[in-house]
Chains A and B, each alone.
Chain A
Amino acid sequence: EPEVTQTPSHQVTQMGQEVILRCVPISNHLYFYWYRQILGQKVEFLVSFYNNEISEKSEIFDDQFSVERPDGSNFTLKIRSTKLEDSAMYFCASSELATSYEQYFGPGTRLTVT
């Protein structure tokens, strides 16, 4: 069964450093998403991406965040200057259609900012 993959599984970085989280969505999917989940809290929407541009973004997704689909398979989330409060699990998801909430989530990247 096809699945979304994410790398790395765990990233430790120092405050102020840039990090790039990588995702490989399911190959025939056209819609891509990033979410985060702070430990013990709910899943928070960050951004959705379609046709090489951002479709929607939340208030969390400020100028420190950016997304890119650098090639036909990868989808990345960049945090330019990490803060302590960016420590969270980051989940990538993809869906075949925008006309469905049937999104497939990756296993997540645990980001720890020290």
Chain B
Amino acid sequence: LAKTTQPISMDSYEGQEVNITCSHNNIATNDYITWYQQFPSQGPRFIIQGYKTKVTNEVASLFIPADRKSSTLSLPRVSLSDTAVYYCLVGETGGFKTIFGAGTRLFVKA
């Protein structure tokens, strides 16, 4: 399982776009990149997953450069309710073991 590095915390204001970058220098060919969101006292919630280039859904976009050694989760126009911890996970999608890192604590201010 590839090791990931994310900022410990980030601050933003309502209405801004937030980009959270995750480094995964040892990503393997079969690895996918997955992001989860966790609110206090709740279970993590799947946000988005990708392998290369760009993936977009109704919640976020995921940008993955050609070398795949990093990825950026982009949250458009955040609101106070986006205050949460965001986890980047990298691993083979056929694997049964899921390792969460410390995540990035995003705090959105009014």
Contacts and interface: CB of A to CB of B under 8 A. Distances in A.
Interface of A: 4, 31, 33, 35, 42-45, 48, 50, 55-56, 58, 89, 91, 93, 97-108, 110
A101 B91 contact: yes
Nearest to B46: A102
A101 B34 contact: yes
A21 B17 CA distance: 40
5 contacts: A33-B98, A45-B100, A93-B43, A101-B89, A108-B43
A98 B44 contact: no
Chain B interface, >50% SS class: loop
A91 B32 contact: no
A55 B98 CA distance: 12
A43 B91 contact: no
Interface residues of B, number: 24
B55 interface: no
B86 to A, nearest CB: 12
B42, B44, B96 interface centre (most CB from chain A within 10 Å): B96
Contacts of B89: 101
B28 to A, nearest CB: 14
Interface of B: 32, 34, 38, 41-46, 49, 87, 89, 91, 93-103
Contacts of A91: 43-44
Contacts of B43: 4, 91, 93, 105-108
A56 to B, nearest CB: 4
Nearest to B91: A101
A43 B44 contact: yes
Contacts of B98: 33, 35, 45, 48, 101, 103
Given A43-B87, A103-B44, 20 more contacts: A35-B100, A43-B44, A45-B99, A45-B100, A50-B96, A56-B96, A56-B97, A93-B43, A98-B93, A98-B95, A100-B93, A101-B49, A101-B91, A102-B34, A102-B46, A103-B98, A105-B43, A105-B44, A107-B43, A108-B41
